[in-house]
Chains A and B, each alone.
Chain A
Amino acid sequence: MAGAVKARRRTVALHVNGRRFDLLVGRDIEASTTLAYVLRENLGLTGLKVSCDEGACGACTVIVDGKAILSCMMLAVDAHGRSIVTIEGLEEDDAVVAAFARQCEPGHGTALQCGMCTPGFVMAARALLDETPRPSAAEVKEALSGNLCRCGCYAGILEAVLRAADRRSAGGGR
C-alpha cells in the first residue's frame, strides 16, 4: 500500500493547453525542476522565456488555474493536476495577441521590439482582462508592472491592452 502511494506520487500529471502529460520524477524531471523548465525543455513549449529565473521579470508568465503565475517560481511537482495554459494554447484569433501584433497607433510606438518579454506580457494581460474586462490605464500599469520590457515598449503595450479590452468587450476575439 505504502509502495503504491509512493509510486503514484512519483508521477506528475500536467494538464497543458488541454492535453495531459505524465512525467516521472527521477526519470523525466527532478523534484527541484521548475514548471518553466519542464514546459520548455521537456514539452518544447518555447513561447514562454526564462530570463531571470528568479521571479523578477515576468517573461515566463503562464496561466495556471486561471491566474497568471511565474512558471520559474513554481516547481513542476507543485503543478501536478493543475490546468496550465501557455501562449501556445491561446486561440488563433486571441484578441490580446492580435492587439500586441498590430499596435502601431501614432504616438505610442509598437507594443514589442525584440519580443523576448512579449509572451509574458500577453499572458499577464490576458489574466488581467479575464478578471477586469475594462481596466483603466492605471490598472493596466499596476497589473503589468511585474513584467520587464527592456526595449521599453510600455506605451505601446498599454495601448494594445486597452484596445484588446475594447475588442473583447465588443465581442471580437477571445
Chain B
Amino acid sequence: MTKRFEPRVARRHVGGYRPRIDGLEKASGRARYADDLTTRVEFPDQLAARVLTSPHPHARILSIDTGRAERLPGVRAVMTFRDPEVAALRPTSAGWTDGVDTVSYDRQMWRRYLDRRVLGDTARWVGDEVGVAVAADSERIAGEALRLVEVDWEILPFVLDPGEATRPRAPVLHPDIAPDNVMPPDEVGGPDVFVRKGDVDAGLAAADVVVEGSCTYHNATQCSLDNWCCLARWEAGRLTVWSNSYEPDQTRMFLSEMLGIPLHAVRVVSSYVGGQFGRADTGEQPFFLWTSLLARRTGRPVKFRQTRRESFQNSRQPAAYRSRWGAKRDGTITTMAYTCTGDAGAYADHTMFALKFAPAEVTEVALAHVTNVRMEARGVYTNKLPACMMRGVGNSQFNLILGLMVDILAEKLGMDPLEIVTRNFGHEWGALPDTSLVAVLREGAARIGWSEKRHAPGLGPLDADGATRRGVGFSFHPGWHAEWQEVRRGPIHVGITLNPDMSVRLEAPTVECGPGSNTCNLLGCAEALSFLGVDPALISYASVVDTDSSLKDTVQTDSAVSYLQSEILVDAAAEVRAKLLERAARILGTAPADLDVRDGVVFSRSAAHRRMTAREVMWKGDIVPISVVVSRPPSARRTGVPYMAAFAEVAVDTGTGRITPERLVIVNDCGTVMYASGAEAQQIGGQCMAVGESLTEEIVYDRATGIPLNFNWIDYKVPTMADMPDIDPVLMEVWRGDGAYGACGIGEGVLTCTPRAILNAVHNAIGVRVDDIPLLPEKILAALGKG
C-alpha cells in the first residue's frame, strides 16, 4: 500500500501534492506545441519540405538528376549536395553539447568525430537523410518530387555487427575518422582505458573470490510523440525558427555558426515539447539547416516535419559489457574490471558519453571505496541508426552490469546482495555504510517483501498451473544530478518582477517537455516570496522560450531544472526583498536595516507602529514594478550523491517464456522533494520505458539487406496501460545537497535500475540467467533448455 510522502521540512509551497500548473491547459487541448503553432492556419503561405532518406544501408550518390522533380507542378525548390550553400556547410556532429551548456562550433563536445555532412552524398544507414531536399506546396507534392529525383547510387558493402565491423577488410564507414571503424580516443571521453585506479591485476590475484559476468543492453529508442519539426522564416535577413528543440539557445548558436549569420539575426521559439527523453540532446539536427536554406531560397516560410517512421532517428547506445570482480570472503570488493563495446551506429553523436563519460562519473562517487578499478570501452561504427542520448544515458547500461555482478558475487559468497551493496558502495566524501544507500535499500526491501519472497534461485513455489515461478530482484545506483554535478552549465538566469498590485512575473525560461519543472519553478518562486504571502495563482509564467525576449534558457536535461532555477530564485527573491525594504524605508522615514517583512506586511523592528503592507509600499511610491534578474552558477560544493533503487517482483511462465512484471517499487532519495505529484509521476512514468526496454522494445534489422523492420508503433512495442504492473513510488529525503533546498534531479534515474531489477528477479524465479535485454520469451525458453 502506498504511503504518502512526508517532507523533512514543512514548507508552504515546495514539496506538496498538487495539480500541475499546466494541467488544465494540457488536458483541455489548449497547450500548443511547435506543430500546432505552425499549421497552415497560422502560416497559410508555408511550403512543405521533404528530404531523401536512403533505401540502402551504405551507398554513395554518383549522380543525381532533379529535372523531372523540378518540373512537377507545385515544386518550389530542389536543393542538392552540389548546391553551393549546402556544400559550404562545415562537417559537423549531431552532439555539440549534452545540453547543460551552450557551445560554439569549435567547442562542440565531440569535435573529434565530425562525421556528419548536412545533406551529404553518402548514406550510412537505411533512413539516412542525404543528397536532396525539396520544398513544395504540400507534403504530398514534396514526397512525389523526391520519387521523381533520379539517383544513381553506388551501392557499398555494409556491416551491422560491431564484431564484424572490426575484422580486416570490413566495410569502413568513416575512413578519415576511424579507418578500422573503431572510434579513436578523444579528449572528452579519454583513452580506451578511461579509468585506471590501483592495480587491477594484482587485486584479482590477491582476491579470495573472483567472479565474472557479461550482459548486453540493446537499442531501444525514445519514442517521443512529438515528432521533430520546425518552421523557418526569413524576414529582412533575419531568420526565425519555431521548433520543438528543447535547447533554444543552443539551436540559435547552431544556426548562427553553421549558416554564418550573427546571433542577433537568429530567433528561435520553442513551446511545450511533447516528450524528449534524451532525443533532443542531439539538438544540432541537420534538418534545421536545410529547412532554413530552403526558406531562404524560396522566400517563403518552410516547414519540415518528420513522419513517425522517420522519427526513428537515434537509439539508446547499445553496450555489451564484460566484468570481473575480486572480493574478500567477507564480501568486501577489492577489484573491478570492465570492458565494454558500444555499437555506435552510423554516426558518433553521444556514443562516448554513454560509454565513458557516465561510467567515469559513477566511479568518482559509487566506486570510491573500491581500491582497484579499470574501465575500458570502445565505440564501433556500423550501418545502423545512430545511437546517442536516451534518458539515463550510460548509467542504465552500466547499471545492467553493476547489479548483475552484485547478484553473482552474493550468490558465490552465499550472502544477501543487499549486504554486499551496503558494505561496498557510497561516495568519496562519506564513510561506509552510506546513509542514503542504506535508507533506500531498507525501504525498498520492506515494501517488496524482500525477506519473505526471496528464495534460492529457481527454488520458489510453483504456481498451481505447474509452469509459473516467481522471484524478486533489485538494483541500485548513485544519483548524478546533484547541484555540484551541474556546475558545467555556467550561470543560470532567472528574473522576478513584482508588480505594484503584488502579482508577480516569473522568468525562469526552460522548455517544459513533461517533467513538470515549470510547476517546480512556480512553487519555488512562491516559496522564495513567502515573505510577501504571494499566492501561486498570482504568478505569471511563460511556457514559451523565445530567444528574442527570454533570458537564456536552462535546458531541461539531467532533469535538474526541477530545483536548479529554484535555488537561484532564492537569491532573486532576496534582492526583491531588499529593494522593497528600501522603498518602505523612504516612506516610513527609517533605515532599511530597521525593517522586516512577513506575510506581506512591512514593519519596523524598533517601533511597532511603523508598519504598512507591502502592497501599500508599492502603491505609494512610483508605482513601478520591482524587477530583478539574477545570474549565478550552481554551487560547486561537493556534497556527495543520493541513492536510488528499484525492486521488482516477476512471474515467469516456464512453459511459454513469458515474463510478467507484477510489481515494481521505485525508491529515490531526492534530497528535497520539490513537487511530490510531479516526482511520483516521474517514478511511475519512467517505468513505461524501463519495462519496455526490459521486455519488448528493440529495433530489429533484416540481416541480409540492413533494412530496419520495425520503425513503427505496431511492430516496435511500447507498453500500453494494459501492460504495466503496479508501481509503488517511494520518495525519500535522506541525503542533502547544497543550497536552500539541496535537492537533486531524479527524472533520468527512475528507470536506471529497473531492467537489472527485473533480470535479477527472473534469475531468482527460474534459477538461470538471461542477461541480454529485451528479455524476449524465446531467450527464456532457450535458457531453460526448451529452445
- Which residues of A does B touch, CB under 8 Å? 30, 32, 40-44, 46-54, 56-57, 59, 86-88, 90, 94, 97-98, 100-119, 122, 140-142, 144-158
List 4 extra interface pairs beyond A100-B27, A150-B275, CB under 8 A: A102-B19, A115-B22, A115-B514, A155-B684
Across the interface, B27 reaches (CB within 8 A) one of A30, A104, A111, A140, namely A111
Q: Count residues of chain B with CB under 8 A from any CB of chain A.
A: 70
Across the interface, A87 reaches (CB within 8 A) one of B29, B35, B514, B719, namely B29
How far is B26's CA from A101's CA once the two chains are assembled, in angstroms? Answer: 7
Is B30 on the interface with A (CB-CB < 8 A)? yes
Residue of B nearest to A113 (CB): B514
Is B689 on the interface with A (CB-CB < 8 A)? yes
Inter-subunit contact A56/B28 (CB<8 Å): no
Inter-subunit contact B680/A41 (CB<8 Å): no
12 A-B pairs, CB-CB below 8 angstroms? A44-B41, A46-B32, A46-B39, A103-B19, A104-B677, A106-B676, A114-B272, A116-B226, A117-B274, A118-B26, A148-B713, A151-B681
How far is B24's CA from A103's CA once the two chains are assembled, in angstroms? Answer: 10
Which of B140, B307, B685, B712 has the most chain A CB within a 10 Å cutoff? B685
Contacts of A112 in B (CB 8 A): 20, 23, 26-27
How far is B728's CA from A94's CA once the two chains are assembled, in angstroms? Answer: 30
Contacts of B3 in A (CB 8 A): 107
| Chain B interface main SS type | loop
How far is B721's CA from A117's CA once the two chains are assembled, in angstroms? Answer: 13
Contacts of B686 in A (CB 8 A): 152
Shortest Cβ gap from B684 to chain A (Å):
4
Residue of A nearest to B731 (CB): A106
Known: A52-B713, A110-B20, A141-B722. A119 touches B29 (CB 8 A): yes
Residue of A nearest to B40 (CB): A41
B688-720, CB under 8 A of A: which get 1 and which 0?
Answer: 110000000000000000000000111000111
Inter-subunit contact B720/A147 (CB<8 Å): yes
Inter-subunit contact B685/A151 (CB<8 Å): yes
Across the interface, B684 reaches (CB within 8 A) one of A43, A114, A153, namely A153
Contacts of A117 in B (CB 8 A): 225, 274
How far is B39's CA from A46's CA once the two chains are assembled, in angstroms? Answer: 8
Is B5 on the interface with A (CB-CB < 8 A)? yes
Inter-subunit contact B689/A113 (CB<8 Å): no
Inter-subunit contact A87/B28 (CB<8 Å): yes
How far is B36's CA from A142's CA once the two chains are assembled, in angstroms? Answer: 30
Contacts of B728 in A (CB 8 A): 107
Known: A106-B676, A109-B685. A41 touches B41 (CB 8 A): yes
Inter-subunit contact A150/B224 (CB<8 Å): yes
Contacts of B33 in A (CB 8 A): 49, 116
Contacts of B688 in A (CB 8 A): 149-152, 154
Across the interface, B712 reaches (CB within 8 A) one of A52, A90, A110, namely A52
Query: Which 5 residue pairs across A and B have the least CB separation, nearest first?
Result: A47-B29, A152-B688, A116-B274, A115-B26, A107-B2
Within 8 A of A (CB), among B256-314: 272-275, 277, 307-308
Inter-subunit contact B689/A152 (CB<8 Å): yes
Is B639 on the interface with A (CB-CB < 8 A)? no
Contacts of B724 in A (CB 8 A): 152, 154-155
